[in-house]
Structure 1
Amino acid sequence: MLTRIDLRGSAADPRRLLPRAAVDVTAATEAMRPIVEAVREHGADAVRAATRKFDGVELEHLRVPVEALSRAADALDPDVRAALLESIGRARQVHADQRRTDVTTNVVPGGTVTQRWIPVQRVGLYVPGGLAALASSVVMNVVPAQTAGVEGIAVSSPPQRDTGLPHPVIMGACSLLGIDEVYAVGGGQAIAMLGYGVPGECEPVDMITGPGNVWVTAAKRLLRGEVGIDAEAGPTEIAILADDTADPVHVAVDLISQAEHDPMAASVLVTASEELVGSVEKELVARVAATKHSERVTTALTGPQSAVVLVDDLAAGLRVVDAYAAEHLEIQTRDARKVAERVRNAGAVFVGAWSPVSLGDYCAGSNHVLPTGGCARHQSGLSVQTFLRGVQLIEYDEAALREVAGHVVALSHAEDLPAHGEAVTARFST
């Protein structure tokens, strides 16, 4: 079922040989540009027109009534409600420890630099509602924003055809988190609405976060600069680094769990054990046929983005997973914690047999909004820090400025910017 890539004995750069989903964001961006521009120029009318075209829903109001949010929370299945509250509680516990404190450095007597951490004032959080209504993404976006101290939080999620409202579990999750500004708008038009604002309906935000399909990603690219964005998210992905101690059942079900997201989802197994590969393949054949979204899973697992990568040994496997830089990386080996601590590039690392990715999707306390497409080589997942800006306060008294004035003047002349030096020396010439 999975394509095999044999890197045993190879000294080539694995980055060029590893599977990856092909997503043409550039083409999607050009297709999305007129929609985004229409929202900027025509506001609510353009949002409604796009929603009518792409979602088949006629919106009377973009914003969801608060009463609908409350009703959705009251109507939650008790088990789902309990699970959401547990997820919220664990996420708040983990994210609370990510808070930063202001630090003042005394550079010289009378001269200080203070690093302040100031939250973004208003953010827009996008929650997908297409193939899967990701209520868990409400938790993952809202909790770090609230923990950072963001004052204004707006959530947008696609309307359902039968109600014209977002999925009821998404609305219920918003209510449990105390979010009452929710919009029944999806896709690129939602990103444009949040970024540019819609007079009388939605105030513009300063930053937009949250996963989405290629159209959401394209709209984010078009809005970058107008607002901050967290990332250009691509299809979800899992890599599993496993040795001959790994349980093939665990490996198979975890590969399937990510393939369930999307036909373009990537599932990659990296191992030196051909015996494990054979056992995993047998499990996949049986379990894919029995799973609910069998067709979607099969497409993902047999696509060019998924594969088994055979390596010589664990060290070679580590080089491969660092080159791949997976959104989610599982370590199912001997001494899994020690191996995990050697990993440099991954959005999140799941250590050992009892830490599957699906735990992180819902209830580990970690955040599941993570970099995809190899971006984990240079980018972090969503956190409290995402919603904070570092602002420096520089405060020198007269004596401290006088003491360093000569150095400022020397550097200003070296750069042929003499007025920079004069801005200092003029203070002492009167």
Structure 2
Amino acid sequence: MGMSSATETLCGQAFGAGHQNMMAIYLQRSWIVDGITATLMVPLFIFATPIIRFLGQEEELAVKAGPISLWFIPTIYSFVVSMTTSMFLQAQLKNLIVGWLSMASFVIHVFLSWVFVIRFKWGVNGAMAAVNMSGWIMVVGQLVYVIGGWCPNTWTGFSNAAFLDMFSILKLSISSGVMICLELWYYSILVLMAGYTKNATVAIDAFSICLNIYGWEFMVYLGFLVAASVRVSNELGRGSAEAVKFAIKTILGITTSIGIVLWILCMAFGNRMAYLFSDDEQVVQSVSTLSIYFAFAILINSVQPGRFRSADDILKEIVDVVAARLKGKAINRLDSIATGAGLQSTVAYVNLGCYYGIGIPIGILLGYVADYQLKGVWIGLMSGVVMQSLILACFVWKTDWDEQVRKASERLNRWLVNA
């Protein structure tokens, strides 16, 4: 996911600058880089059992996870094509076809899951087979659309130019990948930390329920932040500051409004939302004790349009406009807008410091030393997120927008080749 955002950055800026012939080359370079990365990851899936055992998990869990992990090998290779191609299509505003293909893949996935798991009783193997088949159907649909002639201006065929200047795309892809990994691993580590609290089974259940709902609401913002990142990339390439300002004000206004509504709902029904997942009263009670912290996590997340795609130097002029309206509210949702500029490594460093230098240590201190248990772990989680928001807001405030336009132009001209 992170490495594919490099495709989004480059293709978005190329489309905005009118260098549409370069978009196919960027896409093919991303396939090469991501494909090599996926291959390097394969041993993690092959040796999942000893790795999980090394992390101190129960032996039964480690043994059962081994065969399941092998099913994910075809999945990661499908991601190589599907994620990069989705970025390629979104960068040229072909969001509708991505949506239709995703819907078709989802419907097929549900049907195959019912057939394999319910009808044929294949259990986990059937579920994973459905995942792989539906995922590769998505890949085939995307390739047919792109290569089959529906992108005549941006798909110019396979080119040897894809193998040129690989270091630049590799550097951007790695920084993007690290940025996202630091984000996702943060939540995974916190779940692992919950496993060491008192009554660990209930704690993990409660924490996972909160993270699931947290992930659901983030999917809403994910759509908006993709739109923000693509639009900023396009306008960076085009050099239109006013259009970027309008896009950012719109995204921030919409996501903040949605966040306020969800915050109110969480405050009102926080003691009951666990019943969506479990009827265990201990789990329900544990989730209820987290509901206030969880509600504020939802609110903070909504005014943060882009942690997931984030990255670079967003513009002093934009902040001049937005900050006048937001006056001190977290503006971290600007980090996805930043991805459109191309400095993912900046947010990678911010994520490293905020999540692992602040969030996790605070979670350990409050959860175990101060004995706040699950509450302490969750407060630690939010401490890292809040600090990330503040740092990126300051970063955005000091960014020179004109300089970003110049950098985008230089990047595009440097990587421009005759396809």
TM-score of Structure 1 vs Structure 2, range by shorter chain = under 0.3
Higher Rg of the two aligned structures = 1
Higher helix share: 2
When normalised by structure 2's length, the TM-score is 0.24
When normalised by structure 1's length, the TM-score is 0.24
Higher strand share: 1
